[in-house]
Structure 1
Amino acid sequence: MDGDSALVLDRRTGPHGEVALRRQGHLLQIIANGCFLMDTSDGRSERLLVDAARDALPGAGGHSLLLGGLGVGFSLAHAAADPAWRSVTVVEREAAIIDWHRAGPLAEVSATALADPRTEILHTDLLTHLRTADRSYDALCLDIDNGPDWTVTEDNDGLYTPQGLALCRARLAPSGVLAVWSARPSPDFEGTLRNSGFQGVRTHEIPVARGVPDVVHLAIRAG
């Protein structure tokens, strides 16, 4: 196969539209409703997302982590390789993406993490889990969109509003950390975090080859 051509490995239509897995050269790509979401080219920003949340927590370990979005599995694989996390829960609403990890091409990224007894995959919508879960987490890392200003589907918009952030805050333990990945900085979102009762709001930049840097927005729930 020509390394510049893309081969669709699977395509499915569900309640939130179409999601597809493509292979282009050695890369695997996830496409949602025709929009490029992520691929297996790098993973630096996904790893920083998890590490920035961990480093902002008090204590050296024993933390619980909730990952919003499974994606290509970089965040999960990195978290499961870190003994600081006593549990890693992933919420993913697309059954296809879960399948691609459990019995498909993306297992090359996540197989070791999925076999780890600390790992739990929940097939549900993140907002639903935030509203109904009977547990709290020390850290919540969101990587389900291209950022708060560029959502994959319109119904994701509510996650980044004061109401959605209130659900995030309520699901965090005291001094818990919210980390949000974004394909570009969002000063307005920083203001929304502060106005939603978070403290220590700051942004980490991740340089990329072209264009504006990726970022991780960090915020802390007051104890």
Structure 2
Amino acid sequence: MTLDRREGPYGEVVLRRRGASPGVLEIIENGCFLMDTSDGRSERRLVDAALAALPAGLAAPEVLIGGLGVGFSLVRAAEEARWGRITVVEREPAVVEWHRAGPLAEISAAALADPRVRIVQADLVRHIRTTGERYAALCLDIDNGPGWTVTDDNGSLYSPSGLRACRERLLPGGVLAVWSAQPSAEFEKALRNAGFDGVTTEEISVARGVPDVVHLGVLAA
């Protein structure tokens, strides 16, 4: 059942419910399935893996979460007391509204009330390239993977210049974590070429189909 349909700045975005209420909520953009509320373990692991890769003893590391989605990554970050400021960048006004006063509030209301959390409504690719802020971790989940982008413009995020921009947003010892629906040896190589160390790909078993993955790259301290 379609709960809301908007024409946003980057095309059509739809919120649907699958099954009887509460059912499963899913977000579709320009006909491309983005994510749903059926599982969420890989979205949570995106944040946990980034925290685990940071230097031991780092006090109140700040994290940028790219993409609000259905809220699983945000909620997981807010549940962890070790994080400092939690910045979420989301480009679709409708998604932000669905969390603030719509069906997705049932997932994220407590996290949004956390004083460490702030929502920045902006295009992540542009934000990464233009903001002067730096973070201990970037946890990015705006596409189905580096090779399966929701819009063509997102592809530049995974390019050499995009990965350099990500490096510039990280503090020494910082971590870049990228969610993907499938592993990519090509993207691992791109991370190494961009100057990231400790490049790894972690598979996360999910209830549906093949495992999701989290690509990790770490900057030298």
Q: What's the CA shift for 1:127?
A: 1.8
- The letter for the 2-side match of 1:38 is M
- Partner of 2:206 in structure 1? 208
Paired residue for 1:186, among 181, 184, 199? 184
Local SS of the residue matching 1:212: coil
Give the whole-Å Cα distance in 2 for the aligned partners of 1:77 and 1:211.
24
1: distance between equivalents of 2:145 and 2:78? 24
Aligned to 1:32: 29
Name the counterpart of 1:4. Answer: none
Partner of 1:42: 39
**3-state SS, counterpart of residue 62 of structure 1:** coil
Work out whether residues 5 and 15 of structure 2, in 8 Å CA contact, stay in contact via their aligned partners in 1.
yes
Distance of 2:198 and 2:72 partners within structure 1? 26
For 1:27 and 1:12, the matched residues in 2 are separated by 19
How far does the alpha carbon of each residue in 1:172-219 deviate from its partner, in whole angstroms, 9 at most, with x for none?
Answer: 000100000000010100000000111100010012345431100000
Matched ranges for 1:1-223 at <5 A: 7-25=1-19, 26-60=23-57, 61-223=59-221
Cα distance in 2 for partners of 1:154, 1:134 equals 25
SS in 1 for 2:154: helix
Identity level (%): 66
Alpha-carbon distance in structure 1 between the residues aligned to 2:92 and 2:53: 30
Structure-2 separation of matches of 1:208 and 1:54: 21
Give the TM-score taking structure 1 as reference length: 0.95
Does the 8 A contact of 2:39 with 2:207 survive in 1? no
Cα drift, residue 14 of structure 1? 2.0
- Distance in 2, matches of 1:210 and 1:131, equals 34
What runs of 5+ residues in structure 2 fail to find an aligned partner? none
Letter in 1 for 2:53: A
The amino acid that maps onto 1:174 is: P
The answer to whether the 8 Å contact 2:129/2:162 transfers is no
Structure 1 counterpart SS, 2:43: helix
- Give the whole-Å Cα distance in 2 for the aligned partners of 1:179 and 1:85: 15
List runs of 5+ in structure 1 lacking aligned partners. 1-6
- 2:7 maps to a residue whose letter is T
One-letter amino acid matched to 1:173: L
CA distance 1:70–1:8, change in 2 (3 Å) = same
Question: Is the partner of 1:150 in helix, strand or coil?
Answer: coil
Instruction: Kindly provide the CA deviation profile for residues 82-105 of structure 1, in whole angstroms up to 9, marking residues without a partner as x.
Output: 001011000000000000000100
C-alpha distance in structure 1 between counterparts of 2:148 and 2:199, whole Å: 20
| Corresponding pairs, count | 217
Could you tell me which amino acid in structure 2 is paired with residue 88 of structure 1? Answer: I
Normalising by structure 2, what TM-score? 0.96
